[in-house]
Amino acid sequence: MFNSIKDLIIGSPLPTQQLVGKRLNKIRALAAFSPDALSSIAYANQEIFLGLVVAGSAGLAFSWPIGLAITGLLLLVALSYFQTVHGYPTGGGSYIVARQNLGTLPGLIAASALTVDYLLNVAVSVTAGIAAIASAFPVLWPYRVALSLGLLLVITIINLRGLRETGTLMAIPVYLFLFTYIPMLVYGVIRAVMDGPGTLAAVAPAPTAPLTLFLLLHTFSTGCTALTGIEAISNGVPAFKPPEAKNAGRTLIVMSVLMGMLFLGSVGLTQYLAVVAGSQETILSALARRLLGSGSAYLLIQSCTMLILFVAANTSFAGFPRLAAILAGDGFLPRQLTSLGDRLVFTNGILILAIASGVLIFAFNGDTHALIPLFAIGAFLAFTLSQAGMVVHWWRERGKGWWLKSVVNGVGALATMITVIVVVISKFIEGAWITALVIPIIVAVFLRVRAHYREVTRQLSMDGLPPSLKPVPIPRVVVPISGVHRGIVDAVNFARSISDNVTAVYVELEPGAGERVRQKLAEWWPDLNLAIVPSPYRSVIGPLLDFLDETDRLHNDGQSAALVLPEFIPAKWWQSLLHNQTAWLIKAALLYRRRYSGFLRVIIDIPYHLRR
Amino acid sequence: MFNSIKDLIIGSPLPTQQLVGKRLNKIRALAAFSPDALSSIAYANQEIFLGLVVAGSAGLAFSWPIGLAITGLLLLVALSYFQTVHGYPTGGGSYIVARQNLGTLPGLIAASALTVDYLLNVAVSVTAGIAAIASAFPVLWPYRVALSLGLLLVITIINLRGLRETGTLMAIPVYLFLFTYIPMLVYGVIRAVMDGPGTLAAVAPAPTAPLTLFLLLHTFSTGCTALTGIEAISNGVPAFKPPEAKNAGRTLIVMSVLMGMLFLGSVGLTQYLAVVAGSQETILSALARRLLGSGSAYLLIQSCTMLILFVAANTSFAGFPRLAAILAGDGFLPRQLTSLGDRLVFTNGILILAIASGVLIFAFNGDTHALIPLFAIGAFLAFTLSQAGMVVHWWRERGKGWWLKSVVNGVGALATMITVIVVVISKFIEGAWITALVIPIIVAVFLRVRAHYREVTRQLSMDGLPPSLKPVPIPRVVVPISGVHRGIVDAVNFARSISDNVTAVYVELEPGAGERVRQKLAEWWPDLNLAIVPSPYRSVIGPLLDFLDETDRLHNDGQSAALVLPEFIPAKWWQSLLHNQTAWLIKAALLYRRRYSGFLRVIIDIPYHLRR
């Protein structure tokens, strides 16, 4: 029954050979990898507005210059990644590029930064989507956290169903967004030309902070979140239809042009028309309302913004599990993350991302603005390391035009590195410190995991074992019994079939009970040894373990007694609640407490199944 | 380390022979069993006030008559229970009395009603205690739920430490309450005589509902919560020092007189002095403020009210686990509830009560008034059944004065039965329906549990087994392996030591991997059979189970192959996250899925312990 419910929600299992077929064409790939990048304008514009509005109309006048600076950075980074796509046609995520060219540690730092970035992209996109729709319907405001978590659940289920189906479903909102937003911006430009500029000084609130260089840098660094997501395509090259690199590169160009257009268009119109927003509305909502009124056209824009933001969260669901699988394959994360689930997706990675971002949304109370300071640092650190890696890559390869390519990536690395420094300094207290703390912790986890796997490989090696392996002698056998009943019959008989030295053990909780067991046992197995272990503190496990210890010491034959456990299995799950789980507790104690290290402790389960 | 933390909080284990020593003298017993009864005035008065105030001053004028009626009922019930204490010196809870005299089903109904009563007593007492202190410090109001849950945790820990220590700690607040509240009431009577009566009409709010008979009945039924807890002593007779019955009876008399005095005193003064309370204050707080002002004397009274209410919750922690243990001993609840914990208390019962009442407090948002409609029905149903049982008891015994005793209990039964009917009718919609639904559900659970235990006893009986039991033949053996490494060496060798027919099984996730395993395996065990099972859907468990099925069918010898499982045990718990728990999953599938019913499926664990 559980399986059929799972099939209904997730879909039925797919065999491994279907894997190659699940590739994306350019139209679908744009929908799958671009929403994060395209939708970034929703929160980046908002952060620019919130950063500058404290300095009044003088501050807001800097929207356009800052927008231009960010767009310039966008072009640099896009160019860099275009080169990465071609330099690494098999998938050049920041981790791979940094690790191969700069070394393991820089690679792991990039991987850790990307992990944080993926996680925050989910949290920020989902909450910003809810903010977009709550700008239109303020009644939804108190339910932000619950709505965000509900949507996260929906996105998770969709992703568990598999990548191509994801692409189909996700394509609709992405193109809906493009085909409503771009016409609105065009209409806005026409209106702007016809109506002439607005006057910021007339509408901006009075300044509450002086206009300083620090304020501008701070605003620039929060606005840089507009670039987040641009790396998604370079990570996902193998998901494209062949020729992968060419298709991915073209998709990247289209995406970057769209990003620049949307970002500059909305920032420019906002400043030119002198649009400002109240505390209960996003700046994009205010711009749309100014251009379209509050009617159905406005609601369509807000709905499309919300939808693309939800789809943006999906970028992480495509990217993170893939990164985790690569890291796990290299031994830096648990191996389970490499296994494809029933639907040929990395199920474990999807679930981890969903849970972690759910916790983040809950902890930050669904507030996008509070999450933003944690965000950009991860993305830009990964950009920097990846592009620095590309410089080394071209330099090592020395192919055609390597010098020019190195310069392009070098400029990109420098620009993004400066951005990282600006972000860390200007947003440290507001939350960047959390990211700055978490990134090295994740790196430490990566290294610890690999150390463990290496140690395991060493311990499991067959090197040094004698070439001919002989059967081990059959040991003494101990059978713990809870009384004399049908449940122990098979256990006692099996024990006697593998060993001549069998002892039944009864832990006596009430004085006198042991003697009754001895008499009844003798009726059925007259020659069976019985040890009665008193338990003054009413515990079964402790005295039994002590007894095993004691007899092992007495025999002093370098061996532990094997344990034959009669295990009582109820017919229905709820019936287990009605029985002491003694067999289970004994196994847990023996296996995990390591009280008997050095000896081989064989544990033999003889189940007795209840019929109903 | 876990054990030492547990010892610090709960105390170190006590041996079984200390059990008899843990008896209570009368002073301590009053503290342990009376707080529920005594503290009931805190919410009963409040409910009378809230019930009548809607009818304005004309309604509030009925406080005294209703108070008198409830006190009359109190005397009847107290007399009844005094007889129960002497009729059942070994502990005559409603369940035992009803079951022995009326039959199993009435007994179980009483037990179910008591369970609900215990649970609601905890929830109501804790939340009313918080309401008392929040009347004095309104700043605490928004944190009611968190404060209630925190206090519940403290009470739970205290109870897990054991009954006598509980008595000592709990005695202080009970006597503190009596020695502050009674003097306040005496002072109030003196003031009343000197100052003369107040005028209700001058202070009562305007009526919002007509004064009807239904309103008076409704108020009476909510006010009857003043009686809850009176049965605690009769349930706990064996906890008294010998002579148990005599000591318990005297304690019951003292307690009932105190209850009547506190209840009538506060209801009478409230009406005579024309005290009313606003929406942010309890009526008892308003009375205390009227008499004592808002200074330190008032704060002392409120603190003592809060403290005794917390101690009142403790009555349930003494009573419910005892009831659950009796029910479990009779086979109506899981057996684990009969086992005394390390500290000679019924640990499981205490934990169940704590969790269930925590859920209740959370679900009803810590609001006493919302919980009250669920409350009285359980208590009064148990009263009725218990006293009806006593009538039968005296009639069967026909001892000295049996006729008079029967009449006393009969009148008690009749009065409480009428109260139950009034409660159900007048509070059905407000929440009594929940209790009316839950009580039969609990009874159904009791019956289902007993049916299961009876079936188990039948299935486990050795009757009909042949008198001489022979060893079972050593079966075919299958060893699932994940590769060729040290972790499988002991398992393969042990398998070969108990059987000549050993097959290793490798589930092949990637094509070609099986052949490599075959070659490597042959280097070490040239004569070992290897079966390679392909897995197109990348699952290990399913194909392995299918293979076992298949080979069992092929052999057709009426036997299942035994399974020897190499189990990989990491040195530290977190390392388990880095490995697939395949051995565990195989065991779970074989033990609980019952795919192989009919066969004996032996499962042999050969652990391989990692060293660090």
pTM of the model: 0.69
pLDDT of residue A344: 58
Give, for A480, the enclosing helix (H) or strand (E): strand A477-480
Q: Which residues pair with A506 in a beta bridge?
A: A532
Say yes or no: A558 contacts chain B, CB-CB below 8 A: no
pLDDT of residue B569: 80
Q: How distant is the Cα of B567 from the closest Cα of chain A, in angstroms?
A: 9
Name the residue facing B602 among A460, A601, A606 (closest C-beta).
Answer: A606
pLDDT of residue A17: 52
pLDDT category of residue A91 using cuts at 50, 70 and 90? confident
Residues from chain B that touch A498, judged by Cβ atoms under 8 A, are 474, 498
**CA-wise closest residue to B175 among B62, B20, B26, B382:** B26
Tokens of residue A357, six digits: 């971002």
User: In this structure, are residues B389 and B105 in contact, taking their beta carbons and an 8 Å threshold?
Assistant: no
Residues 523-552 of chain A whose Cβ lies under 8 A from any Cβ of chain B: 524-525, 536-539
Tokens of residue A425, six digits: 């300094």
Dihedral, CA of residue A156, residue A161, residue A166 and residue A168, to nearest 10: -140
pLDDT of residue B179: 92
Amino acid at A570: P
pLDDT of residue A597: 45
In terms of DSSP bridges, do strands A603-609 and B603-609 run parallel, antiparallel, or are they unpaired? antiparallel
Residue B468: phi and psi, rounded to 5, are -110, 120
pLDDT category of residue A141 using cuts at 50, 70 and 90? confident
> CB under 8 Å to B532, separation ≥6 — which residues?
B506, B508, B514, B515, B517, B518
- Looking at residue A488, what DSSP letter applies? G
pLDDT of residue A110: 93
Whether B460 sits inside 8 A of A592 (CB atoms) is no
Q: Which residue of B has its CA nearest to A573?
A: B592
Q: Residue B593: pLDDT above 70?
A: no
Q: Residue B197: pLDDT above 90?
A: no
Beta strands in B47-193 (DSSP E): none
pLDDT of residue B506: 93
In tens, the pLDDT along A184-208 reads 999 999 999 998 888 888 888 888 8
Q: How distant is the Cα of B449 from the closest Cα of chain A, in angstroms?
A: 8
pLDDT category of residue B209 using cuts at 50, 70 and 90? confident
Whether A469 sits inside 8 A of B484 (CB atoms) is no
Q: A–B: how many Cβ contacts below 8 A?
A: 177
**DSSP states of A505-542:** EEEESSTTHHHHHHHHHHHH-TT-EEEEEE-TT--SHH
In this prediction, residues B584-605 reach a mean pLDDT of 70
Q: What CA–CA distance (Å, rounded) separates B209 from B134?
A: 28
Say yes or no: B522 contacts chain A, CB-CB below 8 A: no
**CA-wise closest residue to B128 among B232, B216, B47:** B47
What's CA B176's distance to the chain center, in Å?
Answer: 28
Name the residue facing B578 among A453, A600, A611 (closest C-beta).
Answer: A453
3-state DSSP assignment of residue A369: helix
Mean pLDDT for chain A overall: 85
Say yes or no: B13 contacts chain A, CB-CB below 8 A: yes
Candidate ranges A294-298, A380-384, A537-541; pick with highest mean pLDDT: A380-384
Higher-confidence residue of A552 and B449: namely B449
In this prediction, residues B554-573 reach a mean pLDDT of 80
> Is residue A500 classed exposed, middle or buried when 0-12, 13-18 and 19+ CB atoms within 10 A define those classes?
exposed
Whether ipTM tops 0.95, in short, is: no
Q: Residue B2: pLDDT above 50?
A: no
pLDDT of residue A596: 47
Say yes or no: A593 contacts chain B, CB-CB below 8 A: no
In terms of DSSP bridges, do strands A502-508 and B529-534 run parallel, antiparallel, or are they unpaired? unpaired
Tally Cβ neighbours within 10 Å of residue B463: 6
pLDDT of residue A36: 85
Q: Residue B187: pLDDT above 90?
A: yes
Whether A580 sits inside 8 A of B474 (CB atoms) is no
Name the residue facing A538 among B16, B537, B539 (closest C-beta).
Answer: B16
Whether A472 sits inside 8 A of B456 (CB atoms) is no
Residues from chain A that touch B489, judged by Cβ atoms under 8 A, are 462, 465, 469
In tens, the pLDDT along B477-520 reads 999 998 888 888 888 988 988 888 899 999 998 888 899 999 98
Q: What CA–CA distance (Å, rounded) separates A63 from A44?
A: 11
Q: Taking chain A, what is the end-to-end CA distance rounded to the nearest angstrom?
A: 19
pLDDT of residue B1: 42
For tokens 């179910």, what's the residue?
B112
Residue B52: phi and psi, rounded to 5, are -95, -25
> CB under 8 Å to A565, separation ≥6 — which residues?
A479, A480, A491, A583, A586, A587, A603, A604, A605, A606
Name the residue facing B472 among A453, A490, A604 (closest C-beta).
Answer: A490
Sign of the four-CA dihedral B540, B541, B542, B544: positive
In this prediction, residues A256-281 reach a mean pLDDT of 89
Task: Describe the strand order of the beta sheet including A562-569 as a list of residue ranges.
Answer: A529-534, A502-508, A477-480, A562-569, A603-609, B603-609, B562-569, B477-481, B502-508, B529-534
Residues from chain B that touch A610, judged by Cβ atoms under 8 A, are 455-456, 459
Amino acid at B322: R
pLDDT category of residue B42 using cuts at 50, 70 and 90? confident
Q: Residue A495: pLDDT above 80?
A: yes
Whether B603 sits inside 8 A of A602 (CB atoms) is no
Higher-confidence residue of A472 and A178: namely A178
In this prediction, residues B386-404 reach a mean pLDDT of 90
In order of B59, B89, B419, the CA distances from B381 in angstroms are 28, 22, 9
Q: What CA–CA distance (Å, rounded) separates A382 from A377?
A: 9
**DSSP states of A416-460:** HHHHHHHHHHHHIIIIIHHHHHHHHHHHHHHHHHHHHHHHHHHHH
pLDDT of residue B311: 83
Residues from chain B that touch A462, judged by Cβ atoms under 8 A, are 484-486, 489, 524
> CB under 8 Å to B557, separation ≥6 — which residues?
none
Q: How distant is the Cα of B52 from the closest Cα of chain A, in angstroms?
A: 37
What's CA A431's distance to the chain center, in Å?
Answer: 20
Residues 38-67 of chain A whose Cβ lies under 8 A from any Cβ of chain B: none
Q: Residue B10: pLDDT above 70?
A: no
Q: How distant is the Cα of A612 from the closest Cα of chain B, in angstroms?
A: 8
Higher-confidence residue of A36 and B332: namely B332
Tokens of residue A407, six digits: 């310069």
Say yes or no: B603 contacts chain A, CB-CB below 8 A: yes
Candidate ranges A93-102, B260-269, B393-402; pick with highest mean pLDDT: B260-269
- Looking at residue A552, what DSSP letter applies? H
User: In this structure, are residues B126 and B310 in contact, taking their beta carbons and an 8 Å threshold?
Assistant: yes
In this prediction, residues A284-309 reach a mean pLDDT of 89
- Looking at residue A474, what DSSP letter applies? P
Tokens of residue A522, six digits: 């003798």
User: In this structure, are residues A266 and A41 in contact, taking their beta carbons and an 8 Å threshold?
Assistant: yes
Q: What CA–CA distance (Å, rounded) separates B479 from B475?
A: 13
User: Prior bond to B243 cis, omega within 30?
Assistant: yes
pLDDT of residue B389: 93
In tens, the pLDDT along B408-418 reads 899 989 989 99
pLDDT of residue B607: 82
Q: Kindly report the three-state secondary structure assignment for every residue of B421-447.
A: HHHHHHHHHHHHHHHHHHHHHHHHHHH
Give, for B567, the enclosing helix (H) or strand (E): strand B562-569
Give the range among A389-393, A437-441, B8-12, B193-197 with minimum mean pLDDT.
Answer: B8-12
Whether B460 sits inside 8 A of A487 (CB atoms) is yes
In tens, the pLDDT along B119-169 reads 999 999 999 998 888 888 888 877 888 899 998 998 888 888 765 555 566
Tokens of residue B307, six digits: 């403290």
User: Prior bond to B526 cis, omega within 30?
Assistant: no
Tokens of residue A508, six digits: 């006596």
Say yes or no: B12 contacts chain A, CB-CB below 8 A: no
- Looking at residue B205, what DSSP letter applies? P
Q: Kindly report the three-state secondary structure assignment for every residue of B17-40.
A: HHCCCCCECHHHHHHHHCHHHHHH
**CA-wise closest residue to A66 among A312, A270, A255:** A270
* Residues written for chain A: 612
In this prediction, residues B186-210 reach a mean pLDDT of 87
Higher-confidence residue of B388 and B335: namely B388
Residues 216-255 of chain A whose Cβ lies under 8 A from any Cβ of chain B: none
Name the residue facing B452 among A335, A496, A575 (closest C-beta).
Answer: A575
pLDDT of residue A468: 60
pLDDT of residue B99: 92
**CA-wise closest residue to B547 among B535, B536, B537:** B535
Mean pLDDT for chain B overall: 85
In this prediction, residues B330-345 reach a mean pLDDT of 76
Say yes or no: B70 contacts chain A, CB-CB below 8 A: no
Say yes or no: A448 contacts chain B, CB-CB below 8 A: no
In this prediction, residues B1-25 reach a mean pLDDT of 58
Name the residue facing B578 among A452, A538, A606 (closest C-beta).
Answer: A452
pLDDT of residue B133: 85
Say yes or no: A465 contacts chain B, CB-CB below 8 A: yes
**DSSP states of B230-291:** TTHHHHTGGGBPSSHHHHHHHHHHHHHHHHHHHHHHHHHHHHHTT----TTS-HHHHHHHHH
In order of A30, A150, A321, B288, the CA distances from A163 in angstroms are 13, 21, 12, 69
Q: Taking chain B, what is the end-to-end CA distance rounded to the nearest angstrom?
A: 19
In this prediction, residues B234-242 reach a mean pLDDT of 82
